[in-house]
């Protein structure tokens, strides 16, 4: 069962979709929350988040995916987006899913793609007892350096307060906010099991970033799956299917 949903946070309406399995027992079910990436939406490229949600629903796992404010169909302007703001919204989303009587609050997992993976890792670290399992897809642990390089490009006019990134206006508040974050150090408090999936052909976030997450942060609690040749958003059916199958195996009830 797929339905449109909304959540009010700081006066802004976040718009999303929920997928709730139709279970005969009507008992609370496990759930996953999906966080999209920088300039992404609750669908993500080639509707990958929708496909993940439908696959999880077939396993009896509910899922919730929202557009962050300033992205997709949610309220707000992209130039006001910051990492801290998205983390706060992610906490609010987690709160709302925990309070949903259809959901088993002890089995809520987080799934994040790219910057959404960075957001998921920070939320899990801040609330380790509330996150059952963590899935990071090409997590953007290198985002602070990447944004600093974008913001310092010679063509960027600092006086405007934002810069143009492929038609998206990125505020300098975002650059300043994310520059203060050490993604790997901040992620360390999470103590649960982690699945990390990354393509070796990723030119946006090098796969070595995921290797660092495993080596420096999660250790033996993390399973790292490197997809040979895959790009940043797994833009080929065989890559996408491997991502979906990996997630389903990792989050399947009883796993």
Q: Which range marks the domain in which residue 211 is found?
A: 2-251
What is the model's pLDDT at position 253? Answer: 86
Burial string for 92-117 (b: 16+ CB within 10 Å, else e) reads: bbbebbeebeebbbebbbbbbbbbbb
What is the model's pLDDT at position 184? Answer: 97
The total number of structural domains in the chain stands at: 1
What is the model's pLDDT at position 81? Answer: 95
* d(C-alpha 74, C-alpha 16), whole Å: 8
What is the model's pLDDT at position 151? Answer: 64
What is the model's pLDDT at position 25? Answer: 75
Q: Is 170 helix (H, G, I), strand (E, B) or coil?
A: strand
What is the model's pLDDT at position 154? Answer: 61
**Host H or E run for residue 111:** strand 103-113
Axis crossing angle, helix 48-58 with helix 237-251, rounded to the nearest 10: 40
pLDDT in tens, the chain (255 residues): 899 999 999 999 999 999 999 887 789 999 999 999 999 999 999 999 999 999 999 999 999 999 999 999 999 999 999 999 999 999 999 999 999 999 999 999 999 999 999 999 999 999 999 999 999 999 999 988 777 766 666 666 666 778 888 888 888 888 889 988 999 999 999 999 999 999 999 999 999 999 999 999 999 999 999 999 999 999 999 999 999 999 999 999 877
* d(C-alpha 137, C-alpha 243), whole Å: 8
* d(C-alpha 120, C-alpha 254), whole Å: 23
CATH at 90: 3.40.50.1820
């Amino acid at each position: 069962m797929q339905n449109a949903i909304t959540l009010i946070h700081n006066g802004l309406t976040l718009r999303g979709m929920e997928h709730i399995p139709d279970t005969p027992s009507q008992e609370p079910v496990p759930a996953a929350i999906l966080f999209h990436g920088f300039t992404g939406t609750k669908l993500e490229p080639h509707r990958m988040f929708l496909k993940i949600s439908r696959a999880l629903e077939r396993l009896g796992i509910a899922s919730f995916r929202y557009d962050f404010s300033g992205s997709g169909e949610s309220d707000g302007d992209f130039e006001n987006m910051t990492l801290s703001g998205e983390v706060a919204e992610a906490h609010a989303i987690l709160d709302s899913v925990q309070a949903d009587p259809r959901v088993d609050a002890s089995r809520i997992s987080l799934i994040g793609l790219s910057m959404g993976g960075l957001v998921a890792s920070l939320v899990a670290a801040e609330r380790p007892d509330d996150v059952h399992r963590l899935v990071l897809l090409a997590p953007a642990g290198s985002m602070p350096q990447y944004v600093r390089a974008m913001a310092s490009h010679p063509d960027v006019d600092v006086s405007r307060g934002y810069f143009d990134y492929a038609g998206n206006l990125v505020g300098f508040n975002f650059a300043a906010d994310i520059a203060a974050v050490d993604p790997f150090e901040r992620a360390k408090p999470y103590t649960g099991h982690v699945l990390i999936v990354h393509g070796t052909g990723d030119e946006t976030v090098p796969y070595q970033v995921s290797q660092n997450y495993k080596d420096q942060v999660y250790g033996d609690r993390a399973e790292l799956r490197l997809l040979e040749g895959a790009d940043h958003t797994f833009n080929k059916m065989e890559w996408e299917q491997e991502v979906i199958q990996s997630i389903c195996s990792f989050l399947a009830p009883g796993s």
